Copies of this chain bind each other. A is one copy, B any other.
């Protein structure tokens, strides 16, 4: 797979995956990035450039960002201009549609594995909200409660549904517009148009291919092999007749999926399948992972509470977690730090600021001062704490207003404020 010509990368990689090669290679690599596991041995985190080659997607380079700004008339948001969203598949095709005034929609989602979201979960949703404002298109958000039920041996259906509903409240708190956003959980939304797309996807992917893409084993339950089609089906507009009506039935309204790069296998499969179903391929824009407090070797994981900042952590808990756990790129003693300076690339407090601090000038100043040793680790932690507390407080303020009725408003089967 060394240096393939750019235009053939995706086709090549998809071909290799079908033959089971990509999955094997993945296991020989340092970095492990699957929908169920993200780890690396490097303190600077996943090597995303390498991942781009491995997955066969494209780097989201300055040219694409410049085109985005020209087409939309909006300055790229910090996560986009600082490379937190770093890769894509056919994002340019979406920009073409925007330029031509042709329809597309946004699709993102979440598998609810905890009662409250953490900061890492927030990244794709904050970005998606911004993207929806810029593009002004419908947005569908899938809660894969069925996936969580299937993957967690002890979970009950009722608990999976309850968790999905809890998480919806957090997601709504990001500030989505109910007239333009449809949120659904699979267990409650399952309906004939959605099922029809699932069955169509089931028909064109065989067990060997699913195994190559997802790494399933014969000991895995039948549901694991069935599920990828459930995550892929919302890529087809006909899964949502209440939004796209008759026009959506042709499946020629494509979607753009903002998501973390670990979800790529589902959509690689879906992009491979789409032409065979005479449907538009989904486009994707991928984020890197918000690192765990302990360091960029893993991402924040709700099942290990001390790696994350939850949206229901108090300001004091946030302060304590960052002080106690946030991996520091600083030196052992103040004297040494003043002399040698700190390393922003491994410092988790700095990474948080990269994701969430609006002000480019301030971020550059912090980087410079910390690298020179002028800014101490404690001071950097205090600055990151302030920023994280601010985001969590804003979320909490909106969250307090979200009731069961608000959730019903978003999940109701209805048309959105768009005409197709």
Interface residues in A152-206 by Cβ distance below 8 A to B read 157, 186-192, 194-196, 199-206
Q: How many copies of this chain does one complex carry?
A: 2
Q: Which single residue of chain B is at the shortest CB-CB distance from A204?
A: B221
Stretch at the interface among A101-109, A207-215, A386-394: A207-215
One of A80-88, A223-231, A314-322, A346-354 contacting the partner: A223-231
Q: Is A130 an interface residue (CB 8 A)?
A: no
> What B residues does A211 contact at CB under 8 A?
218
CA distance A194 to B194 in the complex (A): 14
CB-based nearest B residue for A223? B202
Q: Does A2 contact B (CB under 8 A)?
A: no
Question: Would you give the 0/1 interface string for A35-65, flagging 1 where the beta carbon is closer than 8 Å to chain B?
Answer: 0000000000000000000000000000000
Does residue A29 face the partner (Cβ distance < 8 Å to B)?
no
A149: Cβ under 8 A from any B Cβ: yes
A228 contacts which chain B residues (CB < 8 A)? 222
> What residue in chain B is nearest A208 (Cβ atoms)?
B218
Residue A10 is within 8 A (CB to CB) of chain B in the complex: no
Instruction: Enumerate chain A interface residues (CB-CB to B < 8 A).
Output: 146, 149-150, 157, 186-192, 194-196, 199-208, 210-211, 216-223, 225-226, 228-229
Q: Which 9 A-B pairs have the closest CB atoms?
A: A202-B223, A226-B226, A190-B195, A208-B218, A207-B218, A202-B222, A206-B221, A146-B199, A205-B222
Q: List 20 A-B contacts (CB under 8 A).
A: A149-B199, A150-B202, A187-B199, A190-B190, A190-B191, A190-B192, A190-B194, A190-B195, A202-B221, A202-B223, A202-B226, A203-B221, A204-B221, A206-B221, A207-B218, A207-B220, A210-B222, A222-B225, A225-B226, A226-B226
Instruction: Beyond A186-B195, A208-B218, list 4 extra A-B contacts (CB 8 Å).
Output: A150-B202, A190-B192, A202-B221, A207-B217
